[in-house]
Structure 1
Amino acid sequence: MDVKEAAERLPRWEARTEVPLFAASVLFLACYAVLVLAQRADALLRDVALALALATWVVFAADYAIRLVLSGQGLRFPRSHWLDTLVLVLPLLRPLRMVKVYSAVQQRRARPRLSLQARVMAYASLSAVLLGFAAALAVYSSERSAPDATIRTFGDSVWWAAATLSTVGYGDVAPVTGLGRLIAVGLMACGIALLGAVTGAFSSWVLDVFTRGDENGPPGSR
């Protein structure tokens, strides 16, 4: 496969698969939630959730392998698509691919329904919610049985995730395990990036509103 053909086939494949893969990522997150929260549930339910989680990961791995082949980059693909590689290793990070999902949706429509600022705010907010929920599940799973842990319930974990994503950081609850703190560092970095995207888009929208108002002038000036 030559470079030109790869450049044409890879975007087509990504445009067709990003939305179904995002649905699969939501299913993966739901299955993971069952495994973490439904400790006392029927064994069959947990087995089904585990099987579905593994099946969705296999789908992610197959998609990664196909895109690696279509790219024609060989071993350079993991470096040039580092986010895809990271998401394959840690499927709970798939909400970070919301920008790719938006690009795939845009290729199916002639015109966007929302302004650029509104789209950035919507997708960044959705990414933050899904990522915060995934982090809350992961931290609760690692912290609930740890000695001297302050995160004892899933509610505590959700509260911690919200405070961390918003960069408020009350400090009333915090992870004490190594894995929990590692997740916290990642969530802090993502929180700053997502919050910056939302506030930047909102500021840009406000400036556009005032700019259009100045161009139109006050009522009766024309």
Structure 2
Amino acid sequence: MDDDNPTARWERRAGIPLAVASLLFLVSYGVRVLGEGLPGPVLDLCLAVLYGAWLLFIVDYAVRWRLSGEGPGFVHRHWLDSLVVLLPLLRPVRIVRVYDAMQDRRQGAPRMALQARIMLYAGMASSLLGVSAALAVYHYEHDAPDASIRTFGDALWWAVSTLATVGYGDVVPVTAMGRLVAVVLMGCGLALLGAVTGSFSSYLMQRFARAEDDAGPPGR
């Protein structure tokens, strides 16, 4: 994408504010879910932050749609952005923009190697996405009949095992919303794990190829 087009300029300006809004959204949601005994005004403030951050996500989506000039095709070409607007707890997947926005503001600063950037992005996104999924599953599961996820610790353990594609099955969601969160997390976990594995494999192949080039042809 051209770095001088309107969409790129908007993403550079909005990247860091949207990242802050994403973290505020996650923290506010966490307080709402885990802080059931907190005073009403605190919970109301967290709810206001939730809706305010969600509104920023919608504004960002609308602006990029308008600047793209793609019309209705923008929705399926940028399906992840469209999904994030509907399910803002998936916003951590878009953490990629944070590093890019910071690099764009630091003109001339060296960038990390592509494989390192992918692994960093995947690690950050996995951590934040795992916490988001654990909060959501705990929200819907902890007081459901026959639920095995009763504490936030159970929810974190479930999220980690699901992201790692292990799936021990000792704790599983039983509600419809909990299972929907599980399906989304499974898909994201497979994608992120594949990105890390592929990038690490590519890095090793490049290192081995460079070592062979430096060593020169084998003696006869």
* TM-score exceeds 0.5: yes
How many Å apart are 1:113 and its aligned residue?
Answer: 3.6
1:85 aligned to 74, 79, 82, which one? 82
Deviates more, 1:41-50 or 1:204-213: 204-213
The answer for the alignment partner of 1:11 in structure 2 is 8
1:52 aligned to 49, 59, 80, which one? 49
The answer for the alignment partner of 1:63 in structure 2 is 60
How many Å apart are 1:111 and its aligned residue?
Answer: 4.6
Tell me if 1:73 matches 2:70: yes
Deviates more, 1:59-68 or 1:32-41: 59-68
Deviations 1:73-128 (A, max 9, x none): 33332222221111111111111113344443443343534211111111100000
Are 2:19 and 2:98, in contact at CA under 8 Å, matched by a contact in 1? yes
Deviations 1:21-41 (A, max 9, x none): 011101100000000000011
**Superposition pairs of residues 174-189 of structure 1, within 5 angstroms:** 174-189=172-187
2:215 aligned to 214, 217, 220, which one? 217
Distance (whole Å) between structure 2 residues aligned to residue 188 and residue 65 of structure 1: 28
Are 2:149 and 2:171, in contact at CA under 8 Å, matched by a contact in 1? yes
How many Å apart are 1:11 and its aligned residue?
Answer: 1.5
Distance (whole Å) between structure 1 residues aligned to residue 71 and residue 199 of structure 2: 37
Deviations 1:158-198 (A, max 9, x none): 00000000001111100011111111111111111101111
Number of residue pairs matched? 213
How many Å apart are 1:66 and its aligned residue?
Answer: 1.8
SS of 1:209 mapped into structure 2: helix
Q: TM-score, normalised by structure 2?
A: 0.90
Distance (whole Å) between structure 2 residues aligned to residue 26 and residue 203 of structure 1: 31
Superposed CA RMSD in Å reads: 1.8
SS of 2:5 mapped into structure 1: helix
Tell me if 1:31 matches 2:44: no
The answer for the alignment partner of 2:204 in structure 1 is 206
Distance (whole Å) between structure 1 residues aligned to residue 63 and residue 183 of structure 2: 32
Q: Name segments (4+ residues, structure 1) moved above 4 Å.
A: none
Q: TM-score, normalised by structure 1?
A: 0.89
Deviations 1:116-173 (A, max 9, x none): 1111111100000000100000000000111110000000000000000000111110
Distance (whole Å) between structure 1 residues aligned to residue 110 and residue 183 of structure 2: 35
Deviations 1:36-76 (A, max 9, x none): 00001111211111111111111111222222222223333
Gaps of 5+ in 1: 1-6
Gaps of 5+ in 2: none
Deviates more, 1:198-207 or 1:23-32: 198-207
The answer for the alignment partner of 1:152 in structure 2 is 150
The answer for the alignment partner of 1:107 in structure 2 is 104
The answer for the alignment partner of 2:125 in structure 1 is 127
Distance (whole Å) between structure 2 residues aligned to residue 10 and residue 114 of structure 1: 24
Sequence identity of aligned pairs in percent? Answer: 54
The answer for the alignment partner of 1:4 in structure 2 is none
1:118 alignment partner AA: A
How many Å apart are 1:10 and its aligned residue?
Answer: 1.5
